[in-house]
Amino acid sequence: MQVAFLGLGAMGAPMAQRLVQGGHTVRGFDTAPAARERLAGIGGSPFDTAAAAAEGADAVITMLPDERIVESVLFGDQGAARAMRRHALLLEMSTSDADWIHTCAERLSSAGVRVMDVPVARGVREAAAGELLVMAGGDAADMDAARPLLGCFARAEDVLHVGPRGSAIRLKLINNYLSMVNMVVAAEGLSFAALAGVPREMALRVLGATPAGRGQLLTNFPRKVLRGDVTPDFPLRLGLKDLSLALNLGARLGAPLHLGSAARQTFGLAARWGRAEEDCTAMLLLLEDLARVPHEQPAVDSNPAGT
């Protein structure tokens, strides 16, 4: 396929190279001359404007820092939109505002351009190896058209059609939310251990061997609440008690435990909602109660990893 790749930075450059290696013709644009030169060195064709890169392309891919830059590259004076052919496929792979993809699609609808949100997860190393996790939102027919390109970036099982347009970027933002919050939790835990006089190596050994470090989504959640089982292995009542004890220690040591303080408030609601004696993983049900989200029925196999 003829592909215009707009944005040849840390992620875009190896992704463009994967397309070249996959036999596609890559026409690239980036504001940085060095990035355009690198594309030429790997067999792509660099252009000085996004419009020139998009001329005659079957698909246009944007991999840019945010929606403001995407808007400029698509709709600016030398933007790709003015050169995209009718029925071309736009794969917006940037991490942008959740509503931007709908605005973008509306602005391109009169030109007959098909638009999908296709963010990715994982990093630069996986981009170079073709081992990204690709999430796609859009029509099934457009997904079929996009697969030959998306298959250059990821293994077949890691190219996921999330749902209609807009669903993929929402899932990406949720993923990044969880990732960044976990970043703070991990930092809180390690700094707490240091203040408590626990050697870093010992803290890592213990935390890495329990759900604290391995993550609840891969351990307790699949084994309990996602199976519809909230009989208490460890009830929310005791979770509140232990969290309170830890926060008391943290207060004496001067540890910054901001997320822990917020979590204690949520644990404290369990009794009022009649869930204090349920398993700690029933925190999911408590938050769904608060958000007035219907509880989903357990999946047939919500524990594929056997944890």
pLDDT in tens, 161-213: 999 999 999 999 999 999 999 999 999 999 999 999 999 999 999 999 999 99
- What architecture does CATH give domain 2-171? 3-Layer(aba) Sandwich (3.40)
Share of the chain above pLDDT 90, in %: 96
pLDDT band at 59 (very low <50, low <70, confident <90, very high): very high
pLDDT (0 to 100) of residue 24: 98
For CATH 3.40.50.720, the residue range(s) in the chain are: 2-171
pLDDT (0 to 100) of residue 307: 31
pLDDT (0 to 100) of residue 301: 54
Is position 241 annotated as part of the catalytic site? no
Instruction: Write down how long the chain is.
Output: 307
pLDDT (0 to 100) of residue 75: 97
**Residue 134 clears pLDDT 90, i.e. is over it:** yes
Output the average pLDDT for the chain.
95
**Residue 305 clears pLDDT 80, i.e. is over it:** no
pLDDT (0 to 100) of residue 306: 37
When pLDDT is averaged across residues 82-100 and rounded to a whole number, the result is 96
For CATH 1.10.1040.10, the residue range(s) in the chain are: 208-307
Give the number of other CB atoms < 10 A from CB of residue 62. 26
Question: Where does the chain have alpha helices with state H?
Answer: 12-21, 33-41, 50-54, 67-75, 100-108, 124-129, 140-150, 167-195, 200-207, 211-214, 220-223, 236-253, 258-267, 283-291
Distance CA 303, CA 220 (A): 10
Instruction: Write out the two tokens for 279.
Output: 């398993």
3-state secondary structure of 61: strand
Distance CA 174, CA 234 (A): 27
User: Per-residue pLDDT tens for 273-293?
Assistant: 999 999 999 999 999 999 999
pLDDT (0 to 100) of residue 185: 97
User: Per-residue pLDDT tens for 225-270?
Assistant: 999 999 999 999 999 999 999 999 999 999 999 999 999 999 999 9
208-307 folds as N-(1-d-carboxylethyl)-l-norvaline Dehydrogenase; domain 2 (1.10.1040)
Distance CA 115, CA 287 (A): 34
User: Per-residue pLDDT tens for 97-113?
Assistant: 999 999 999 999 999 99
Catalytic residue (choose from 38, 161, 172, 224) = 172
| Helices 283-291, 258-267: inter-axial angle, 10-degree rounding | 80
The whole-model pTM stands at 0.92
Share of the chain above pLDDT 70, in %: 97
When pLDDT is averaged across residues 216-228 and rounded to a whole number, the result is 96
pLDDT (0 to 100) of residue 157: 98
pLDDT (0 to 100) of residue 270: 97
**Residue 20 clears pLDDT 80, i.e. is over it:** yes
Distance CA 248, CA 71 (A): 49
